[in-house]
Amino acid sequence: MISNFFIDRPLFATVVSAFIVIAGLAAFRELPVAMYPNIAPPQISVSTVYPGASAEVIAETVAAPLEQALNGVEDMLYMLSGNSSTASSLTIAMTFAVGTDPDIALINVQNRVQSAVQLLPEEVRRQGVSIQKALPSFLMILSFDSPDGRYDDLFVSNYATLNIVDELRRIPGVGNVQVFGARDYSIRIWLRPDRLTELGLTPADVAAAVREQNAQSAAGRLGDEPTTERVDLTLSVTTQSRLSDPEEFERIVLRVGDGGEVVRLKDVARVELGARDYGFALSRQGRPVIGAALQLAPDANALQAAAAVYAKMAELEPSFPEGLEWSIPYDTSNYVRTSMREVALTFVEALVLVFFVVWVFLYNLRATIIPSVAVPVSLVGTFAGMYLLGFSINSLTLFGMVLSIGIVVDDAIVVLENVERHREAGEGAFEAASKGTRQIAFAATSGASPSSVRRWTFSSTTIASSTTRPIASTSPRSVRTLTE
């Protein structure tokens, strides 16, 4: 049997054990760590915004062209689209077959979307179409607020978007950062229908005037080549940039009459600086907060990514304005860290029990050291097998290791007990090791209950040694039946 192969070659067995430990430790450093295994099929998310449009308009003018272009993309199983009339947004979630490379799927989706961009409304093209890999779960959620009420949610959202979110996206292991309850600054124009009717204007006229006059264009340069005369300076002509103040928007000209009458935006509307979207609100303990959900990148280490997030926030916190605070109400790395700590605790407890049981019942230091060394070798080598099979350190694999610790400990004690039984019968070390492992190797490797093998071995030995009749006076059939 294979057990005799290693018993005959103790030096080779030692080298193999050392190699298993080294491979397991090296694999442990490279294994991804997450709360759950990554078994979900890859998903690609396509999202865009059509400000002011209803759900029906978004479905007819935006969703229909995109769905027609995305239909039939390689390895796609199905897609699910949904739009919101309150947020004027569209999201298309595409699910691909298990085993599909997410990066290749992302490129295929981008190519399909580019072919449909020209069919989308101008306002949608202006907002842009976002395409990204959808990750199934969140690593952690950060919240930002002003407990003393010094800053409103609009200021907090703008500060977090400009100074914190981009820093978090650059952390290794963070796949994406999704902001909840964002309040981006935006100019809001409240039209007065009575004034529009009185002046003979429509909302479309106002939108066209704002779009035309709130633009930045290149005006060229003075004195640039080719010129008929030599000039000393070449000057770039700078025109008015995009408007950024409510007073500037109020001066937008809507119409100029024949007699020089000028109708401006402030004559038919109220202009103010507010948030772009009020359709989503997030609160914690009764206070409005801004949330940033961090998603773990594929095959990333959750513990390392979480530690990097804490370090980055500690680095950014001194630059926060006074009165702005942050917290992490949800962190999945705590569960992973606790699971790994429990596995390590179970491992230590198992070694202590092995040492105690073998020492108390066998009272042999050498017999105690052998399972105390063999058990760690088998468990550490498990990480090498996990790495080769593409597994990650997650709740399920850690649970499996906790169960396997009991099996390994039980097998180590039973095999050692059987070998020591042959030693007590007067056999040499080599013969006892060879016969003891051969008798119980199949039960240990096949998952059979070692206690049943132990009972069979003990009963057959007791009966054979307690008989006083000569073996020749007993029929072989009766002896065979008695020992079985």
- The DSSP bridge pattern shows strands 185-191 and 221-222 to be unpaired
State the pLDDT confidence band at 38, using cuts at 50, 70 and 90: low
Query: Rounded CA gap, 344 and 405, in Å?
Result: 11
Residue 309 has pLDDT above 90, yes or no: yes
What's the average model confidence in pLDDT over 209-233?
A: 77
* Paired residues of 191 in beta bridges: 269
What is the structure's pLDDT at 109? 92
What is the structure's pLDDT at 456? 38
Tell me which of 281 and 213 has the higher pLDDT: 213
Domain ranges of the chain: 2-28+336-465, 41-135, 186-223+239-275
Between 20-24, 382-386, 422-426, the lowest mean confidence (pLDDT) is in 422-426
Q: DSSP states of 223-237 as a string?
A: SPSS-SS--S--EE-
Between 76-80, 234-238, 387-391, the lowest mean confidence (pLDDT) is in 234-238
Percent of the chain residues past pLDDT 70, beyond the cut: 88
Residue 287 has pLDDT above 90, yes or no: no
Tell me which of 471 and 178 has the higher pLDDT: 178
What is the structure's pLDDT at 67? 92
**Whether 277 contacts 87, CB under 8 Å:** yes
Query: Rounded CA gap, 213 and 210, in Å?
Result: 5
What is the structure's pLDDT at 1? 56
Residue 318 has pLDDT above 80, yes or no: yes
Same fold, 2-28+336-465 and 41-135: no
The residue among 47, 45, 276, 308 whose CA lies nearest residue 158 is 276
What's the average model confidence in pLDDT over 214-228?
A: 75
Query: Does domain 2-28+336-465 correspond to CATH entry 1.10.8.60?
Result: no
Residue 311 has pLDDT above 90, yes or no: yes
Q: pLDDT tens digit string along 391-404?
A: 888 878 888 887 77
Tell me which of 305 and 448 has the higher pLDDT: 305
Peptide bond into 476 cis (omega under 30): no
Query: Does domain 186-223+239-275 correspond to CATH entry 3.30.2090.10?
Result: yes
pLDDT, averaged across the chain: 80
Residue 29 has pLDDT above 90, yes or no: no
How far is CA 324 from each of CA 12, 102, 138, 184, 281, rounded to the nearest angstrom?
63, 38, 24, 17, 18
What is the structure's pLDDT at 442? 76
What's the average model confidence in pLDDT over 179-193?
A: 84
Tell me which of 471 and 165 has the higher pLDDT: 165
Highest mean pLDDT among 254-263, 264-273, 409-418: 264-273
What's the average model confidence in pLDDT over 308-330?
A: 90
**Whether 265 contacts 243, CB under 8 Å:** no
Superfamily the domain 41-135 falls into: Multidrug efflux transporter AcrB pore domain (3.30.70.1430)
What is the structure's pLDDT at 356? 82
State the pLDDT confidence band at 480, using cuts at 50, 70 and 90: very low
State the pLDDT confidence band at 479, using cuts at 50, 70 and 90: very low
What is the structure's pLDDT at 186? 83
State the pLDDT confidence band at 301, using cuts at 50, 70 and 90: confident
Highest mean pLDDT among 74-88, 152-166, 269-283: 152-166
Residues 6 or more apart in contact with residue 275 via CB below 8 angstroms? 154, 157, 183, 184, 185, 186
The residue among 191, 168, 189, 193 whose CA lies nearest residue 178 is 168
Residue 260 has pLDDT above 70, yes or no: yes
